[in-house]
Structures are given as structure tokens and as C-alpha cells.
Amino acid sequence: MELFRSQVLICGGTGCSSSGSGELIRLFEEKIAENGLDKEIKVVRTGCFGLCQAGPVVIVYPEGTFYSRVKAEDVEEIVTEHLLKGRPVSRLEYKDKTVQSNVEKSLEEIGFYKKQKRIALRNCGRIDPENIDEYIAFDGYKALAKVLTSMTPEQVIDEVTRSGLRGRGGAGFPTGKKWLFAYNSKNEQKYVACNADEGDPGAFMDRSVLEGDPHAVIEAMAIAGYAIGASEGYIYVRAEYPIAVKRLNVAIGQAREYGLLGKNIFESGFNFDLHIRLGAGAFVCGEETALMASVEGKRGEPRVRPPFPAVKGLFGKPTVLNNVETYANICQIILNGADWFASMGTEKSKGTKVFALGGKIVNTGLVEIPMGTTLREIIFDIGGGIPNGKKFKAAQTGGPSGGCIPAEHLDVPIDYDNLIAIGSMMGSGGMIVMDEDNCMVDIARFFLDFTVDESCGKCTPCRIGTRRMLEILERIVSGKGEDGDIEKLETLARNIKATALCGLGQTAPNPVLSTLHYFRDEYEAHIKEKRCPAHHCNALLNFEITDKCRGCTLCARNCPVGAITGTVKEKHVIDVKKCIKCGACMEKCKFGAIIKK
């Protein structure tokens, strides 16, 4: 084994890769070699560090110097100053606005990471995901060895059950109970499956785990196979995740080469192998029975349950299906014990939860927090608050299936039951933050438009009912709302929730119901006053030039329809009948003389 005095860890996740981290890796290797340091310093392509807002991210160990937004032209300076002369480049170091001192010694001292507890993400940004030896060096495959050499399947299931781990894919069903059902189903052939389809807008938790720590999922699926008596597994992953797919293929190949997949693993007599199936981007295939139909080569449509997959799943055989994040917790539970995992979180929601933090937030990225952390802590302590001095308005959790949490619930501890109680849900873990400029009626329309487009069309409530709801919402945001529209929305929503075939249809009305509950006044303003309180819906806007106008004519010159008139050095006027409300005039005005009303 080669020993190095320093390691340069460079994020190779999708976000940083799209910002040029691949070129950074090439340049670092090139410049390190030019300076004769290639025997002393190793460059490592890792997964996502979590703080996507600061990418591309480069961390130099053992110092732990955290460089953010590194560009190709910065590489030579880092190599010659820091790696060669031992002088960190301060101008490139991450500046943390949440702490007084910006001299960080480790990731844990940066405000973004202080309140996090990384279990599912423990190796992301820490190891080379395409090097099985690095995974093994951090206790990789130790849990699989433990269960195969010293635990019975019943003991494994009991450990997972006592940990309190609930499915991280959305519904929060107890993982141990699901495994027990499959274990008790008698059949010569059983399957283990992984849902890596992750279709929620703004969600990238599972993708990041697969890109940064694929072996954790592979090892956990083998453990699940041993626990229920399955010899074969399938990972259903979005084809839009090319980096994740590549690293999964590499990891599966390495595991087979090391004898960690295949026949007689650890000479225990246990056989288990994995296959990858690519999804074509259908949101409905995140539903377990639709996913299994797709794996089988059929149209991805849900079916009526029971029978549940633990009795009749893939190819009609008993199947355990969990999502990526659920599996990412399994090995740590086996190694550290159920009591260790259950010591974190709340009474009914144990452990941690990964969220993809996006929208109107300073620190967009991936966070993993203990269950019970409040929304306020996530948004203001970890996320850094709302940019540009704007006020927090709401956070959407659970994606299109979830609801909007308003400011009055900022201090509610986040767990499965509390979110449901306030009209939202955990979902897979997307969290989109909104500020005072977001129109909640339009937010509801946006999410419902997504579910209408993604409905498989199998059942009438989802296929027709959600479309009728969308038509009403589109009328409201276009200024054509009518008395009674709110009541129609509520009636349709209740009927769809009660009668739709699968979880997609049953939860599709949630964004509408939650925004109606907390922001009903915005709906009423749209309908009764033909006004959008957030000044967002174009059809309900009027642009006006105030006395601040200097008569520079810039607005008139940029109006695409000639709706602005006036002479030089005199106040201009907008013809509201001609105005198409594009906002070009307001954007171009240098004096803040144009307002929305």
C-alpha cells in the first residue's frame, strides 16, 4: 500500500462535475507531477461533500483546508503555495458566514456541518467511490462478514427491527417488519430490490449516495438477501443518473472480483448477486408495484394491493424493496447495534434523515440531520437563511406528494408523524424553501402540473381528477378564478385521496390542500380581488413607473411591444392595454423607478 503525506479530495458528484471538477482533477494531477510531488500527494475523486452551493469543492488533508468554487486557473496556485510550500491560499478558502472565525480546522467546524450527523452520507466526500479498497478501509463489508459468520437471519431482522429504522422512501414503513414479512413468505426464490428512481423535483439524495458510496448499498442489499433468504437483487436506477450508474457498475464488478457478490460469500454457503435496471424517467415507477412491473419489462403501472410485494413481488416471488437511503443505514446498524441507532431521533422516528435543500436558501446542498431537528435549525443554522434579506414563507417537503410548511411551524421537530400532523410528509427528502416572492397558488399549480404529467392514467381519479384540479388552478393564476373554485378544489382533493389506486394519486392533492389550509387568503385575493399578493402571477400584475423616473428612455427601448412612451429626461408612462407584463422594463431600469402592483 502506497503512503502519501497529503491527499487532495475533489468532489466528483454531478453538481461539481457539471461545474468542471473533472478538469480540476486532471490539472491537479498534472501540476502535482510537474512539481515532483506525485509520490507524496494523491488526488482523489470523491462523491458529494454536501455543500453544493460552494462547488466545485477541493479539500486538502491532513490539514482539512476547505477550498470552494475552485476554478481551473486556481489549481497552479494551490499546488505551488499550499502543497509545495505549505501555505494555504486564503482567498480560496470557504468563508463561513455563520461563525465569527473563518479559520476552519475540519468539516465539522463549518456551520453547515455542525448540526449534521452523517450516517447514510458518512463516506460521501470521504472516499474514492470507485476504489473498493478505500471502502473496505472504512469498515466496508465488515457488516456482511458479521451477519454471515455470527448471526442468523432472524437475528439480523431483529436488529433492524429494534433499531426503529423506517423506510426513507416516503411512507416510513418499518424496515424490520417489511423484512420479516418477506422472511415468513415461503418460496424457493426470493428477491431484494432497491428503488433508486428518485423522481421528486429538487431531490438528489439517493443519487449522491450512489455516486459517493455505492458499496454501502451493495453490502446492505446482500445483508437483506441473507435475512429473507434471497439470492438475487435488482437496483432500479434512473437512466438520467449516468455517474451513479457508472459507479454502481464499477462497484458491482469489484465486489464480484473480491468474492463479495456471487457464490459462497465468505465461505458461508450464501449466494447473492446483483443486477442493474435503468428507469426511463417515469415518476410513477417510484411506486413499488409499478417499479417491479418495469423491472420485469412491463409497462410501469401500479397494481392493487394486497398481495403486497413481501408475498408477491418481482416475477411473482416474495420481494423486499427499500430505497437507497434506507439501505445506506443498514451496515452501520449491524456494526454499531440497534440501540446506537435508536438513541438518535424521536420516539417514533429513529436515526437521521437526508434532505436535498434547495430553493431560496443560502446553502443549497445535501444535509443529514437527526430526526427531531427543527425546520428553523435546518433553514437558518445549516442552510444559512434566506438570501437578499427576504422573509421565509414556506418549505415544501415530500415533493409533489408533500405539503408546504409555513413560518408558524418553523419550530416543529421534523419527523414522520409531526410532518403529517401539519399537512405535509417526509417523502424521500426534498426540501424546497420559498420566500415572500413565491406565490403559493402558483406553487400548488406547479406541483399539480407535474403529477398530472406523470400520472400513468390507469385509474380515473388520478387521470381525470387531478387534471380538473389543475384546470381550476390555471384559471385562478390567470385572473379568471370564480366564486366556488376553492370549494371545488377541496371536494376534488378529498375524493382523489380516497379513491386513487396508488400513492401517487392519493397524495397528489397534498400541495393544494396544504396551501389552501395555510395560505387561503392568497387564493381569495386571486379570485375576489384579481390580485397576486406575492406579485408573481403575470396575469394579475400591473407595472407602473414612479416619480423616480429620470427619463433615460432605457425602459422604452427595451419594451418588446412599444408599451412605454415618454421623452428624454421626463417621466415615462406604461400603456397597460399594450403591456404584456414581461418585466423587461423593470429589469433594465437602473433607478428602481418601476414597480409591480
**Considering 392, 414, 435, which residue would you say is the last residue of a domain?**
435
198 with 312, same domain: the answer is: yes
167 with 276, same domain: the answer is: yes
Rounded distance between C-alpha atoms, residue 386 and residue 409, angstroms? 16
pLDDT in the model for residue 97 = 64
Place of cell 423486499: 320
Q: Is residue 481, in this structure, part of any structural domain at all? A: yes
Buried (b) or exposed (e) across 38-70, using 16+ Cβ within 10 A? eeebbbbbbbbbbbbbbbbbbbbbeeebbbbeb
The alpha-helical segments, DSSP class H, found in 202-297 are 205-212, 214-228, 242-257, 288-295
Rounded distance between C-alpha atoms, residue 564 and residue 557, angstroms? 8
Rounded distance between C-alpha atoms, residue 28 and residue 42, angstroms? 10
Rounded distance between C-alpha atoms, residue 383 and residue 227, angstroms? 39
**Considering 341, 368, 393, which residue would you say is the last residue of a domain?**
341
Residue 575 belongs to domain spanning: 542-596
Adjacent-strand bridge partners of 353? 369
- The strand pair at 319-323 and 262-265 is best described as unpaired
pLDDT in the model for residue 278 = 96
pLDDT in the model for residue 468 = 97
- The strand pair at 365-370 and 319-323 is best described as unpaired
329 with 357, same domain: the answer is: no
Host H or E run for residue 490: helix 485-499
Q: Is residue 205, in this structure, part of any structural domain at all? A: yes
389 with 308, same domain: the answer is: no
Rounded distance between C-alpha atoms, residue 378 and residue 411, angstroms? 10
Name the DSSP class of 379: I
pLDDT in the model for residue 174 = 96
169 with 252, same domain: the answer is: yes
Rounded distance between C-alpha atoms, residue 311 and residue 373, angstroms? 36
Q: Is residue 518 within 8 Å of residue 404, measured between CB atoms?
A: yes
Long-range CB pairs of 95-101, under 8 A, 24+ apart, other chains included: 95/68, 97/362, 97/384, 98/381, 98/384
pLDDT in the model for residue 503 = 85
Residues of the chain with confidence (pLDDT) below 50: 100-105
Q: Is residue 77, in this structure, part of any structural domain at all? A: yes
**CATH code for the domain of 395:** 3.10.20.600
Instruction: Give tens-digit pLDDT for 75-94.
Output: 999 999 999 999 999 999 99
**Three cell numbers, residue 346:** 424521536
Adjacent-strand bridge partners of 274? 233
275 with 390, same domain: the answer is: no
pLDDT in the model for residue 541 = 86
166 with 184, same domain: the answer is: yes
Selection from 159, 131, 446, 196 nearest residue 327 by Cα: 196
Instruction: Give tens-digit pLDDT for 443-467.
Output: 999 999 999 998 998 999 999 999 9
- Residues shown for the chain: 597
pLDDT in the model for residue 596 = 85
Q: Is residue 403, in this structure, part of any structural domain at all? A: yes
- The strand pair at 65-67 and 58-61 is best described as antiparallel
Q: Is residue 253, in this structure, part of any structural domain at all? A: yes
222 with 310, same domain: the answer is: yes
Work out how many domains the chain is built from and give that number.
5
Q: Which amino acid is at 97?
A: K
Q: Which amino acid is at 138?
A: F
Rounded distance between C-alpha atoms, residue 418 and residue 209, angstroms? 26
pLDDT in the model for residue 151 = 98
pLDDT in the model for residue 102 = 47
**Three cell numbers, residue 4:** 502519501
pLDDT in the model for residue 101 = 47
407 with 372, same domain: the answer is: yes
Rounded distance between C-alpha atoms, residue 51 and residue 54, angstroms? 6
Q: Is residue 558, in this structure, part of any structural domain at all? A: yes
476 with 556, same domain: the answer is: no
CA angle 485–487–490, rounded 5-degree value? 110
Q: Is residue 536, in this structure, part of any structural domain at all? A: no
Selection from 449, 440, 430 nearest residue 515 by Cα: 440
14 with 147, same domain: the answer is: no
Name the DSSP class of 170: T
Instruction: Give tens-digit pLDDT for 213-266.
Output: 999 999 999 999 999 999 999 999 999 999 999 999 999 999 999 999 999 999
Q: Report the predicted TM-score, pTM, of the whole model to 2 decimal places.
A: 0.92
Instruction: Kindly give, in sequence order, each residue whose CB lies less than 8 Å from that of residue 18, ignoring residues fewer than 6 positions away.
Output: none
Selection from 334, 293, 44 nearest residue 176 by Cα: 334
**Considering 321, 341, 361, which residue would you say is the last residue of a domain?**
341
Name the DSSP class of 65: E
Burial class (CB in 10 A: 0-12, 13-18, 19+), 285: buried
Selection from 405, 415, 409, 408 nearest residue 443 by Cα: 405
Rounded distance between C-alpha atoms, residue 319 and residue 430, angstroms? 27
pLDDT in the model for residue 433 = 97
**CATH code for the domain of 469:** 1.20.1440.230
Greatest extent of the chain over all pairs of C-alpha atoms, in Å? 89
Check whether the bond before 56 is cis (ω within 30° of 0): yes
Instruction: Give tens-digit pLDDT for 505-560.
Output: 899 999 999 999 999 999 999 999 999 999 999 889 889 999 999 999 999 999 99
224 with 292, same domain: the answer is: yes
**CATH code for the domain of 13:** 3.40.30.10
Selection from 64, 99, 80, 65 nearest residue 27 by Cα: 80
Q: Is residue 535, in this structure, part of any structural domain at all? A: no
